[in-house]
């Protein structure tokens, strides 16, 4: 194990590629009627140019909140940012005026959401919703816009794209809608695509299609992808580098291959072991006892201490520091697996 280093050194990407997006020590929370609480604690991660990075964790761990904050999509109040930076291509997004933020959102950073059912407006045609993106970010004639939309739909593998533009979301299946969301996110040729659980609502055969499609599009368009998911299988298949989040903190970051063969954090290991595997037969699944602590009752020490099999006295008292093993792996744990 290498010497201890401070957190911002946990650089993503095996070849230390230049980061396109980096969150640096982001701490934020929400003010509610019952008091305020911290949702993200000192969260740092990086997405290098042209690579796919995974952000994994269970519901409520803060993975979606971190990108919503980065994209400035959370209304304030109730959300507040205590400290940290979100650097995209050399600029801190948190400091931008709303006008310049709008030039980035949907233009240089595309987003796809989990629910293709609810993220399309049911009262407008697909064509209208796609052209809207171009109307805001590009000044194109209607005909040019239509051409670009059909091209992009065709690129995502949608048959009869010109007809699709006239259709409404309810006329299309879940897989088609997700393809349309992807096409829409890619219309302006973004440098970064944020995919928030892009395949969770879909069937496995459709999921395989969408993952394959994202892989192809990434190679064609040379973009970076931040893949948010709770499915470790999806990470294994699509990401080069992975960040694992638990209860508002990043607890481990590593190369995808490394994280599955030698997980350092007990939580990462617990997550991997609790999934049944096709290749082996076990009578009982390994479990992680207990539940994730809510944001309003996180312990003073490590958030995972209560559920951890390697918990020590120090874990209950003090928050663990990020330890850099080498450039391939970093773990926030007092007592990690070697």
Partner 1 sequence: MTDREPLLEIIDLNKHFYVKGQQRPVRAVDGVSLELNRGETLSVVGESGCGKSTLARAALRIHEPTSGRVIFKGQDLLNLSRKRLRAKRKEMQFIFQDPYASLDTRWPVGSIVTEPLVIHGAGDYRSRQKKLHELLELVGLDPTAANRYPHEFSGGQRQRIGIARAVALEPDLIVADEPVSALDVSIQSQIINLLIRLKQDLSLAYIFITHDLAVVKHISDRVAVMYLGVIIEFAGVEELFSNPLHPYTQALISAIPRIDYRQSGRRIVLTGDVPDPSDPPSGCRFHPRCIHRMDICSQEQPQTLTLGSNGSWHTVNCHLYTDAINL
Interface with partner 1 (CB under 8 A): 58-59, 173-176, 203-209, 211-212, 230-234, 236-237, 260, 270-272, 274-279, 281-289, 291-292
Cα gap 281→277, rounded to integer Å: 8
Q: DSSP alpha helices (H): ranges in the chain?
A: 63-70, 98-104, 126-137, 142-155, 161-164, 174-186, 204-221, 232-238, 256-261, 266-274, 313-317
The region that residue 166 occupies, defined by phi over 0 for left and psi between -120 and 50 for alpha, beta otherwise, is alpha
Q: Name the token pair of 169.
A: 């979301």
Cα gap 281→284, rounded to integer Å: 9
> Judged by CB, which is closer to partner 1: 115, or 231?
231
> Judged by CB, which is closer to partner 1: 120, or 134?
120
Q: What is the DSSP string of 50-99?
A: T-EEEEE--TTSSHHHHHHHHTT-S-TTTEEEEEEEEEETTEEGGGS-HH
> Judged by CB, which is closer to partner 1: 11, or 265?
265
CA atoms within 13 A on the CB side of 182: 29
CA atoms within 13 A on the CB side of 72: 20
Cα gap 53→244, rounded to integer Å: 11
Minimum CB separation from partner 1 for residue 242, in Å? 12
Minimum CB separation from partner 1 for residue 138, in Å? 31
Minimum CB separation from partner 1 for residue 288, in Å? 4
Strand 192-196, strand 109-112: pairing? parallel
- DSSP bridge partners of 110: 193
Residue 286: CB atoms within 10 A of its CB come to 14
Minimum CB separation from partner 1 for residue 303, in Å? 14
> Judged by CB, which is closer to partner 1: 89, or 231?
231
> Judged by CB, which is closer to partner 1: 97, or 278?
278
Minimum CB separation from partner 1 for residue 107, in Å? 31
> Judged by CB, which is closer to partner 1: 56, or 109?
56
Minimum CB separation from partner 1 for residue 209, in Å? 6
Minimum CB separation from partner 1 for residue 97, in Å? 38
Minimum CB separation from partner 1 for residue 214, in Å? 13
> Judged by CB, which is closer to partner 1: 97, or 204?
204
> Judged by CB, which is closer to partner 1: 162, or 291?
291
């Amino acid at each position: 194990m290498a010497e201890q280093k401070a957190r911002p050194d946990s650089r993503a990407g095996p070849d230390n590629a230049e980061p396109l997006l980096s969150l640096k020590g982001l701490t934020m929370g929400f003010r509610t009627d019952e008091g305020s609480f911290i949702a993200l604690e000192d969260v740092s991660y990086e997405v290098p140019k042209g690579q796919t990075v995974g952000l994994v964790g269970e519901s409520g761990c803060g993975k979606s909140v971190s990108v919503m904050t980065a994209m400035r999509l959370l209304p304030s109040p109730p959300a507040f940012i205590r400290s940290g930076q979100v650097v995209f291509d050399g600029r801190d997004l948190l400091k931008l005026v709303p006008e310049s933020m709008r030039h980035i959102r949907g233009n240089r950073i595309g987003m796809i959401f989990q629910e293709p059912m609810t993220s399309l407006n049911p009262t407008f045609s697909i064509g209208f919703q796609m052209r809207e993106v171009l109307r805001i970010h590009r000044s194109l004639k209607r005909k040019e816009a239509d051409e670009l939309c059909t091209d992009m739909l065709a690129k995502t593998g949608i048959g009869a794209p010109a007809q699709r533009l006239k259709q409404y979301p309810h006329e299309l299946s879940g897989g088609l809608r997700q393809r349309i969301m992807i096409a829409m996110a890619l219309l302006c040729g973004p440098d970064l695509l944020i995919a928030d659980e892009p395949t969770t609502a879909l069937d496995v055969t459709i999921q395989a299609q969408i993952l394959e499609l994202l892989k192809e599009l990434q190679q064609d368009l040379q973009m970076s992808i931040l893949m948010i998911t709770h499915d470790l299988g999806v990470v294994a298949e699509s990401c080069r580098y992975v960040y694992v989040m638990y209860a508002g903190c990043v607890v481990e970051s590593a190369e995808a291959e490394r994280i599955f063969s030698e997980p350092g954090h007990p939580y990462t290991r617990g997550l991997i072991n609790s999934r049944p595997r096709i290749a082996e037969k076990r009578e009982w699944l390994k479990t992680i006892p207990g539940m994730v602590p809510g944001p309003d009752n996180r312990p003073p020490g490590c958030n995972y201490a209560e559920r951890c099999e390697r918990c020590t006295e120090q874990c209950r008292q003090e928050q663990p520091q990020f330890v850099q093993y080498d450039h391939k792996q970093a773990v926030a744990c007092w007592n990690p697996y070697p």
